[in-house]
Amino acid sequence: MLAKRIIPCLDIRDGRTVKGINFENIRDAGDAVELARIYALQGADELVLLDITATHEKRKTLYELVGRVAAEVNIPFTVGGGISTVEDVGMLLSNGADKISVNSAAVRNKKLIAGIADKYGSQCVVLAIDARQEEGRWIVYLNGGRVHTGIDLYDWAREAEQLGAGEILFTSMDHDGTRDGFALDALRHLSEHVRIPVIASGGAGRMVHFRDVFTHGIADAALAASVFHFGQISIPNLKDYLSSQNISIRPQLK
């Protein structure tokens, strides 16, 4: 059995880490580079950095931030936010990112996934999907949850896999920031629907939620933000707990 991964997520706005609830009510959570360094030291398996206010004008700032994070951590990290061209990907990788997350741009231009995969490999491409449950269906949203697409979560995930995506990062907008647990049934169905790894996002509040997402939700990795940023859960304690629950996790770096 492959070891499960614990992934802190840093939502970035103007170089600071922020966090909201249901994609709203944003508040400051600390310096992005310092948090990345701390999480790497604590034993996080990977990191995700999402620039939530990404614009072309601010792209240089993001490149610089990625370089500063790369200098401080010794674990893989994924960068997303406003990436719309293969050239964007090349710049981020050259500044130290290991993987790239694409979301809205990939829905609007499906060739983007294939283009990145062809040039840099599928292992580099993480497709982020934000979705909300509506009348029994999970529907994909774009632009930070502001644009309804009518696209089915599972159909889009399978298509993205065929296009060359190497992982799916699924965020339940209904669960985001609530700390009431992950969308377990949706995650289980998604994990059974595709052959590539699924990263669960949205809803972590207690350590038992991580146990449940790996057992019932059969996710390959669990991503969380506020519970780590604000000290409700420490990564070393979480890994000890998961190990006690007979869940395979990666050993902490010494």
Provide the sign of the torsion angle of the four alpha carbons 169, 173, 177, 182, taken in this order.
negative
Q: How far is CA 176 from CA 19, 21, 221, 225, in A?
A: 10, 6, 16, 10
Q: What's the rounded Cα separation, in Å, for the pair 164 and 162?
A: 5
Exposed e or buried b for every residue in 5-36, given b needs 16+ CB within 10 A?
bbbbbbbbbeeebbbbeebeeeeebeebbebb
Return the beta strands (E) in 106-187 as ranges.
Answer: 125-134, 137-142, 147-152, 167-172
Q: What's the rounded Cα separation, in Å, for the pair 52 and 123?
A: 23
The answer to whether residues 113 and 165 touch, using CB atoms and an 8 Å cutoff, is yes
- Catalytic positions, written as ranges: 11, 130
- Give the amino acid at 249: I
The answer to whether residues 170 and 153 touch, using CB atoms and an 8 Å cutoff, is yes
Phi, psi of 56 (to 5 degrees): -60, -35
Retrieve residue 72's tokens.
């401080």
Exposed e or buried b for every residue in 227-243, given b needs 16+ CB within 10 A?
bbbeeebebeebbebbe
